[in-house]
Amino acid sequence: MSELQSQYAKRYKSRKFINYIMITIMLLSTLLALIPLFSILTHIGISGIKALNLQFITNLPAPVGEPGGGMGNALVGTLVLVSLAALMGIPVGVLTAIYLSEYQQVGLFPSTVRFVADSLLGIPSIVVGIFVYLIIVLPMKSFSALAGGVALGIMLIPIVIRGTEGMLKMVPDSLREAALALGMRKWRVIVSIVLPTAIKGIITTIMLGIARVAGETAPLLLTAFGNHFWSTKLDQPIGALPLQIFNYAISPFDEWHNQAWAGSLLLILVVLILSIIARLATRGNKLN
């Protein structure tokens, strides 16, 4: 009996030991994933702050050796591109989500739409670039801001669809029923009851989506192309922050490398602020 007991005690010890080992491994893997995050953020903070100043935000890029260059045009370019993308992606995305959530939730057609949206979400961004190059850049015979905006818009659509659909579904049915019972028409119910109820969540989704496409580089290489001068013309090539960072990063000049870090600081501030606000907002706004 005592021998059996001691055997069990021994096995229990080894089981506990394995338990601790595995929990330690899990903890270590969590820490391991956070190392690159902190490394990236600190390096961008330290190297970026050195070159970041007011001139950097307002000036045009300067040739190598000349001080005082900036990324003003790239900043404006990113703003133009993202606005174009929003103009295209938000209406299409929100309307599609309304159909999926309010008109037909189950069936072959809505599942197809959801499948297509998921597929669009998974398309490599460079392939979107190829597509837009073929349908806009080739016929227009020029790289253009329009093409860049459309490429980003295509990437924004599925993000908005899936996010908005989720938010609309969180609106309780009792609200819709109450409105219908008061004699409202369905479109009125959607526009003045359902959408306003979910609007916080929808804006959050849109902000996350915009943060995501604002940092995209690959499709812009084939569409917006980049521009070292001020330009807001839609039919001309236009600069963009990520493009400029890429070009400076692969250049051989230290000065440009510093500018790339500063540009990254700017970009990551925009992206992180958008996503942090968005995520904090959703956390307080869970309807169910």
Segment 120-159, which members bind another protein (CB under 8 A)?
120-131, 133-135, 143, 154, 157-158
Q: Which of residues 156-215 bind another protein (CB under 8 A)?
A: 157-158, 161, 183, 185-187, 190-191, 211-212, 214-215
Segment lying near another protein (by CB under 8 A), choices 53-61, 66-74, 113-121, 171-179: 113-121
Q: Which of 217, 227, 259, 282 binds another protein (CB under 8 A)?
A: 217
Report how far residue 82's alpha carbon sits from residue 73's, in angstroms, rounded to the nearest whole number: 14
Cβ contacts of residue 169 below 8 Å, gap of 6+? Answer: 101
How many other CB atoms are found less than 10 A from the CB of residue 152? 32
| Residue 96 in the binding site for another protein (CB under 8 A) | yes
Angle at 145 between CA 142 and CA 148, to 5 degrees: 95
Report how far residue 112's alpha carbon sits from residue 66's, in angstroms, rounded to the nearest whole number: 55
Q: Which of 9, 33, 106, 181 binds another protein (CB under 8 A)?
A: 33
Length of the chain: 288
| Residue 108 in the binding site for another protein (CB under 8 A) | no
Shortest approach of another protein to residue 92 CB, angstroms?
5
Shortest approach of another protein to residue 110 CB, angstroms?
8
- β partners of residue 238: 225
Q: Which of 6, 23, 192, 196 binds another protein (CB under 8 A)?
A: 23
Of the candidates 85, 121, 56, 57, the one whose C-alpha atom is nearest the C-alpha of residue 255 is: 56
Shortest approach of another protein to residue 51 CB, angstroms?
13
